[in-house]
Each structure stands twice: as C-alpha cells, then as structure tokens.
Structure 1
Amino acid sequence: MFNLIRRDAILQKRQILIIIPLIVIFIIMDKHPSFTFLIASIIIPFNTFAYDEKVETNILLNSLPYTRMEIIASRYIGAIVYMIASIGVTSLALFIFKKPFTMTDIAIAISLFLLFVSFTFPLFYIFKQGYISMVIFISFILLAAIGPAIVSFLAEHLTAITDFITNLSIPTLYIGVTLVIMVCYFISWGITTVIYQRKAF
C-alpha cells in the first residue's frame, strides 16, 4: 500500500517542484497563512486524481497485487502524508520570509483540507472520468467564494447554535471540531471504499 503512496509522489515530482514557487507567490501576495497552507496541501492529492483520469490508472492498479481496499486506503493516508509535507514546506517558507503564522492557522488549514477531502474524494468514483476534475475545481472556487458568506448567514440566523458554540471553552471546542472532522474523514473513507469495490473497470 505504501508503494502506491510512493508511486504518486514519483508521478507528481514535477508538480512538487511547482508547489514551492506557488507558495512563494502567495506569501509575496500576503495571503492569509491558512489559505496558503490549504492550497499547498491540496495540490498533490487532487493532481494525482487528475492524472489518473487521463491515463485510466484504475485499470492498471486493479491488475496489481493490491486489494481495492488498499488502493483507497493509499489515497486517504497519502492525502494526510502530502498534507503534512506541504505544511512543513509552507512553514519553512513563511519563516524564511519572516511572515508570522500560528498553530491556529495550521489547524484551520488542516480542518478545511480534511473536510474538503471528505466531501470530494468519493466524487472521483461517482462521476464519469474526464469530468470530475472540473467539478472539483468549480466546487473549490464556489466554496472559497461563498463559504464565508454562508458561515456569516448561519451565525446571524442560528443564534442558539452560535451562543452554544461561543459558550464552549477553547479546549472543548477544539476537541469537538477535531472529532467531527475525524468522523467525516473516516465516513468518507468507508463510502469511497464501498463505491470503489462495486465499480467495474
């Protein structure tokens, strides 16, 4: 299974080199650190899916001595591995450029990344190949554009929930958010595994 993760890294070696200049551009543009962490984390996992769409890699993968469960596990574990590596590189770049960032910025980026993965990874096996990359791209743009407005709207109109959240202690809030994200991630993992096991290649 870990050979599959290594395979993705080898295939994406050129894209890995693109990440660093992209991070530098976002830093120079003075983008929020959380946004920079998020973009850096997303590139490799989602570009891997885009590459696989073009060359129909799933046919090849299913001819190798790996179970379909292992193939999906490599996607979800690999996403976390690449996220950690991307955050490390981004942290170093921010430090070099003397741009301040906090652990909260990293936590926000990780949370958004894991949630985005949870909702989008199953889509790669539901929609017809060749279209899903565009669907994910449009979804990300829409999320970035209307996400803050939706959060503000809900905060204003669902006051009972807002009051409940604001009354929670910081540790309780962090633990609660972490548990919710982990549950979403593992549910997504399970759903994707079931979908992939039932697909015909």
Structure 2
Amino acid sequence: MLNLIRRDFIIQKWQLLVFVLVILFFVLLGRQDPAFIFLLASVIIPINTIAYDEKAETNILLNSLPYTRSEIIASRYLGTIVFIILATGVTSVLLYVFDRNFSITDIAISSSLALLLLSFYLPMSYIIKPGYNFPIAFISFLLLAGIVPPIVSYLGENLTSVTDFLLNLSVPILYISALLLGFAIYATSWGITTIIYRRKAF
C-alpha cells in the first residue's frame, strides 16, 4: 500500500515543482489570506492525482496488481493526508522565508477545510463521468472560496449564541474539535468511497 502512495509522488515529481511555483506566486502576491494559500496547497495535489489517474485509466492497472480494492482506496486517503501535511510544511516555509505572517489558526482552518472538501470530492470522483472531475473540482473550489466566507460572516453576526459559545472555548479545544470533526467526516467518506469502489466496474 505504501508503494501506491510512493507511486503518486513519482508520477507527479515534475508537477510538484509547478505546484510549489504556484504557491510561491500567491505568497509573493501578498493579497491572499494565508489560510487560503494553505488550503489551495493542500487540495491541489490530491485533486491532480485523481485527474491524472482518470486520464491514464490507472484504475484498470491498479486492479490488475496484487492489491485489494480496499487497499487502493486506503492508499488514496492516507496519501491525501500525507500530501496535506507536506503541502502545509512547504507553504509554511515559503511564507516564513518571504516574511508573510501566518498563525496556527490559519493552518487549523485550512487543514479542516481541506479534509472537508476532499471528503466530498473523493467519493464523487468515482461517481462522476470520466473527464469531468477536474473541471467540477476547480469550479467547486472557486465557488466555495467565494461563498463560504460571506456565509460564515453572516452566521457569525446573526447566530450570536453560537458565536458566543465558540468564543468561550479555549483555543486548543476549538482547534482540536475542528480537526476531530474534519477527521470524522473524512473517515466516513473513506468508508463510503470504499463501498463505491468495490462495486465499480473497470
């Protein structure tokens, strides 16, 4: 299973450099919120991996190898977590080198959102017709990036009881709760995707 994760690194070795340059562009631009940059870095590689596999019809090859379908999906979900961790590390270094301020809050928010977005995207990638995954993911990301902040601001202003409750929580508890919720949804998505993949014909 580790070889499957390693395969994703190998097939994207040149594209990873392009991704780093894209993140560097946003860092140097200096206009985007650090949480947005972390989020972009976290989701772009997993989404590209699925898009590549879709074009190369990799699933046919993977199912001919001595791996169960559960192991293939497990490698996808574990690999995604590895990508998120590495992307967060690289982005942190770039932000630090170019003197862009960021905080643990930015990392916690972006990691939680990345887990949430990928929890919906990964199972959908095995349902959506081949060739439409990347465009749908790209459009969805832009829509969420534009819609979610205003919604959060609106809810924060109007649901004062919920806002007060959250503000009274200590920072560590708030971060841990957000990450645990993200992982819970991610684990549920993992189970759903495994069921979908087992029943899918290649």
* Shorter-normalised TM range: over 0.9
Query: Quick one: structure 1 residues 93 and 134, their matched pair in 2 at CA, closer, same or farther if it must change by over 3 Å?
Result: same
Aligned equivalents of 1:164, 1:69: Cα separation in 2? 40
CA distance in structure 1 between the aligned counterparts of 2:18 and 2:104, rounded to whole angstroms: 25
Deviation for aligned residue 1:152: 2.1
Q: Matched residues in 2 for 1:170 and 1:21: separation?
A: 33
SS at match of 2:20: helix
Letter in 2 for 1:32: D
Q: Does residue 1:104 correspond to 2:122, yes or no?
A: no
Q: How does 1:26-105 map to 2 (within 5 A)?
A: 26-30=26-30, 31-105=32-106
Amino acid in the other structure paired with 2:24: V
Residue equivalent to 1:6: 6
Q: Which amino acid aligns with 1:18?
A: V
Q: Deviations over 1:65-98 (max 9, x none)?
A: 0000010111111011111111111112122212
CA RMSD in angstroms comes to 1.4
| Distance in 2 (alpha carbons) for counterparts of 1:193 and 1:147 | 29
State the 1:49 CA deviation: 0.6
What is the Cα deviation at residue 187 of structure 1?
0.4
1:125-180 Cα deviation digits (max 9, x unpaired): 11111112211111111100111112122233333333332333333322322221
Deviates more, 1:55-64 or 1:93-102: 93-102
Give 5+ residue unaligned stretches, structure 2.
none
Segment of structure 1 superposing worse, 105-114 or 183-192 = 105-114
Q: Which amino acid aligns with 1:33?
A: P
Distance 1:183 1:8 in 2: 25
2:26–2:37 Cα contact (<8 Å) kept: yes
Number of aligned residue pairs = 201
Moved over 6 A (4+): none
- Give a deviation string over 1:20-59, Cα, whole Å, max 9, x none: 2112211111122211111112221110111111121111
Deviates more, 1:157-166 or 1:88-97: 157-166
Q: For 1:67, give the aligned amino acid.
A: T
1:200 aligns with 2:194: no
CA contact (8 A) 2:111 2:179 kept: no
Sequence identity (%): 59
Is the partner of 2:129 in helix, strand or coil?
Answer: coil
Name the CA distance, whole Å, in 2 between partners of 1:99 and 1:156. 29
Deviates more, 1:92-101 or 1:3-12: 92-101
**In structure 1, C-alpha distance between the alignment counterparts of 2:148 and 2:141, rounded to whole Å:** 10
Q: TM-score scaled by structure 2?
A: 0.93
**In structure 1, distance between residues paired with 2:170 and 2:95:** 30
| In structure 1, distance between residues paired with 2:156 and 2:104 | 24
| CA 143–196 in structure 1, closer or farther in 2 if over 3 Å, else same | same
One-letter amino acid matched to 2:130: Q
Partner Cα distance (1:76, 1:150) in 2: 29
8 A Cα contact 2:34 2:102, kept in partner: yes
